[in-house]
Structure 1
């Protein structure tokens, strides 16, 4: 029997359980962004913070694009490449994963048609350097999608404290406006912006999910006492994240590099209700109170 220590750091628990590291919104968000960015078989996509490869693999399967992922964690890169090796050849040959830092990308200028990121840019120390590198490797009129969680309402301090204890860092209680200010720097066109509320799932669903992910051969191989501890810890973590999701929303942002860096986008006046105005209001255009014909 395999034995482990208790309590486990969250990253070790995550690796042991083997939870798929999805971007916020999962495959539904990937599908929406692939459509918004008009991706197809001729496109070369870079994923920043690719982790274990979920988004790159989904994009290659959905659109036929070529996808390269870059991730700072070598263990996650190794797992992503192992996953890619098990895929059907027509998908697996279109994805590759590399260990590296977004602030020093190893590709030539104008290599990629699009860049995708599932939230990693929010935790990069020097975002200006990261965006400069993304701009360098992205072709003119290339798009950058950033899918990022934000707080719709402030969580109770006790919940934030428990979350920080598990993650090992404090999650900033930012609304979408604050994240947008950080993640849409000057010189980029805001091509698309959408917000979607997240929600807590019923406790029975969380319990069923926790049980399903801790009933695998890897967990069954643990000694009985350690197996029980892992299941208890994973269930507690799942409920903690579920409680936090009651306060969250997800922001789906698509930026575009201008045709020429020295010519800014001309402002747009007539923007339909419900769309975001990046030029003057810096807000979503309100719906009309009444319509007349």
Structure 2
């Protein structure tokens, strides 16, 4: 297992691989189900998932639809847990997990029916190059499924600094308009979207969640000092994200790849 110094140097994505947290996309299973439904995924579909982390979305899509999933991430620790989850769920035959860079996947042009990227694009330093790669490997008529998170309420400078340290990415506060302008354009046409906001979660609810996670039997192999460090860092980060997410919302967004210009819809409608 890990030493106290190794745990002390881990970012959030590495920590959740160690504790085997179920790292869902914003909105969880409901976001995935809505995107799968509106993208017409079926058992013949082939989905590329960007930044699969511990494999939750890949497993859920395989279970919901029976589709084939190729899931990539740069963190090998998370991929180990992702493969374990797929085996446990009985869908490992449908999913291929690979350690790859989202900006240079090496896959063929027009290879996938959907590219699902959740919120991971916000964590990629060269996000323009990543989006170009999503578009390149996507079939014409296929969909990019994204669930970008953004600030609804302006965060403090200290909150942003704390989040940067936790995820070890130099983030800046972004808002919904940024992500719509980022994703829509060129061959990528706005097809369907749904806006949501995160609930405010009490401190004690997060503490109970952390307590339950840290009781997992595989963590018993840690030395006492390493386990203490893990508890300290994981609890601090989960409470930090509780505060951060209380300022945020997200959009379930589907973009359809079409090589020709499509005029905007003039007479739009809203659910009543």
TM-score, with structure 1 as normaliser: 0.83
Aligned-residue CA RMSD in angstroms?
2.2
Structure 1 outlier segments of 4+, above 6 Å: none
Shift of 1:167: 2.1
Distance in 1 between residues matched to 2:46 and 2:213, nearest whole Å: 34
Point out the structure with max Rg over C-alpha.
1
Kept in 1: contact 2:18–2:77 (CA 8 A): no
Residues 1:40 and 2:42 aligned together: yes
Shift of 1:226: 4.1
Give unmatched runs, 5+ long, in structure 2: none
Higher relative contact order, chain-length normalized (CA < 8 Å, sep 6+): 2
Change in 2 beyond 3 A, CA 1:37/1:186: same
Residues 1:70 and 2:68 aligned together: no
Which of 80, 86, 89 aligns to 2:88? It is: 86
Residues 1:10 and 2:18 aligned together: no
Kept in 1: contact 2:191–2:254 (CA 8 A): yes
Give unmatched runs, 5+ long, in structure 1: 275-286, 288-293
Secondary structure in 1 matching 2:240: helix
**For residue 263 of structure 2, what is the aligned residue in structure 1?**
266
Secondary structure in 2 matching 1:153: coil
Distance in 2 between residues matched to 1:159 and 1:128, nearest whole Å: 26
Distance in 2 between residues matched to 1:202 and 1:96, nearest whole Å: 37
**For residue 191 of structure 2, what is the aligned residue in structure 1?**
191
Change in 2 beyond 3 A, CA 1:149/1:221: same
Shift of 1:78: 3.4
Change in 2 beyond 3 A, CA 1:39/1:248: same
Secondary structure in 2 matching 1:86: helix
Listed one character per residue, the Cα deviations across residues 28-87 of structure 1 (whole Å, up to 9, x for unaligned) are 211111111111112111111222221111101001111111222333333323332333
**For residue 280 of structure 1, what is the aligned residue in structure 2?**
none
Secondary structure in 2 matching 1:104: coil
Moved more, 192-201 or 122-131: 122-131
Distance in 1 between residues matched to 2:109 and 2:166, nearest whole Å: 39
**For residue 148 of structure 2, what is the aligned residue in structure 1?**
148
Aligned residues: 270
